[in-house]
Structure 1
Amino acid sequence: MNNFSPALQQEMEEVGIRKTMTAGSLVLRENSYIQSIFILVNGSVRIMRTEEEGREILLYYLKPGQSCITSFLSGLHEDTCKVRAMVEEDAEILFIPINKAKEWITKYPEWANFIFHLYHIRFEELLTVINAIAFEQLDDRIMALLNKKKEVYQSNDFTITHQQIAEELGTTREVISRLLKQLEKRGKILLGRNRVILTGAM
């Protein structure tokens, strides 16, 4: 948000609502109408999609200074949101009324650039997700997810359950547990109770 003009930053503080949310809190529900968009100030948020059978899959993570372009587009077109946003790490979030977010597109060029840049980033990330589902082995997808977690937590050692990995990759806990043990035998990770350590082994 440092790239925004003083005028836009002032207006964001005037109309926005800041909230502190703990890990596991739901920021955005699927199939809900968008009353406000959110910008992540601190922490991290994961964006998920639920398929008809109830299985979930991770789409992407939000970092500080980013927003969920999917929810913004839903709000722009007065449609229901197609994703779910959940706090990964304790977060500070700025909520902006959707009518203001629309107004700023024409009022502030830097806001329009911000939105288009988010769209570009998320489109590329979604292509990566599609490519992974279509062409990559599940153990490679597990390692890719764990490396994303490493970036989020800025540590090789973090807390995560087998069930959570299964939910984020759209598969079962049993399959994940088996593959994690194989990855541990290959020296890529170390497993603890609800804990994974990336060893850096190739």
Structure 2
Amino acid sequence: MSWTKNTTDIAGLDAPARALLDTLTPVEVPAGAVLFCPGEAVKGYVVMLSGRVDVHLIGPNGRDILLYQVAPGQSCIQSTLGLLGGEDYTGEATAAGPARLVLIPRDVFFALVDSSPGFRRLVFGAFAARMQDMMQLVENMSFLKVEARLAALVLDRAEGDTLRMTQADMATAIGSAREVVSRRLDRWAKAGLVTHGRGEVTILDRAGLEEVKNSPAL
């Protein structure tokens, strides 16, 4: 079956572009698989069909920051920059769970960019949206306190009143250290804002956390 017909953005492309894309075979990626590492050359443009890929920036001390996540309909800015600018990867991408994706090789990517206006709009539209996300990340890391970033994470990602996420993953997501996250959660628990255990945070006072989230910038 044609995978392009079941992919919202791709399905709207012109027939020649879809025919070329249909020559590519989707691949299944297991959870935890590393898709690329710093220093590797960019192999192609990734189209996510299902699942999610996390892209991290790893510092010289081994600490890492979650740069962005790639889900269906989203682009990998590192891949786009590498293809258009010729730069190697600077981050590391891992599958957050089982995923299905299509890798558009470099030569096919540029053939589509040259021949298909719809594909060009798709690529650059997704690139622009991802750049906005990156600018928001830079703004948050530069001007928001750790407490505000952590409160935003808990509020935004909680299902109902419960966030199921390890402290190490929370630290990575907000660009901090696990020990810092642990101390903040302990402080919030004493203040009656949350309770927390292994891999789980439960919101007790949503309004109080909103106040922390909206606390004055640095």
Same fold by TM-score greater than 0.5: yes
**2:4 corresponds to:** none
* Structure with the higher fraction of residues in strand conformation: 1
CA–CA distance in structure 1, aligned partners of residues 147 and 167 of structure 2: 13
| 1:37-56 Cα distance to aligned partner (Å, 9 max, x none) | 21111112222112333321
| 1:18-49 Cα distance to aligned partner (Å, 9 max, x none) | 12223322222121101122111111222211
What secondary structure does 1:59 align onto? strand
If the length of structure 2 is used for normalisation, what is the TM-score? 0.79
| 1:137-191 Cα distance to aligned partner (Å, 9 max, x none) | 11221233345545xxx66545321112223333221111111223344555442
User: How many residue pairs get matched?
Assistant: 198
Which residue of 36, 47, 58 corresponds with 1:39? 47
**1:130 corresponds to:** 138
Q: What are the residue-to-residue correspondences of 1:1-80 with 2, within 5 Å?
A: 1=9, 2-14=11-23, 16-80=24-88
Q: Confirm or deny: 8 A CA contact 1:40 1:65 kept in the other structure.
A: yes
Structure of higher CA gyration radius:
2
Root-mean-square deviation (CA, aligned residues, Å) is: 2.3
CA–CA distance in structure 1, aligned partners of residues 44 and 75 of structure 2: 11
CA–CA distance in structure 2, aligned partners of residues 155 and 30 of structure 1: 37
- Aligned partner of 1:3: which letter? G
Structure 2 residue runs of 5 or longer lacking an equivalent are 1-8, 208-218
Q: What is the CA distance between 1:114 and its match in structure 2?
A: 1.2
Instruction: Identify if the C-alpha distance between structure 1 residues 92 and 156 changes in structure 2 by more than 3 Å, giving closer, same or farther.
Output: farther
- Aligned partner of 1:76: which letter? L
Structure 1 residue runs of 5 or longer lacking an equivalent are none
CA–CA distance in structure 2, aligned partners of residues 27 and 177 of structure 1: 30
Q: Confirm whether residue 118 of structure 1 aligns to residue 126 of structure 2.
A: yes
Which residue of 192, 196, 204 corresponds with 1:191? 196
If the length of structure 1 is used for normalisation, what is the TM-score? 0.84
Q: Confirm or deny: 8 A CA contact 2:154 2:163 kept in the other structure.
A: no
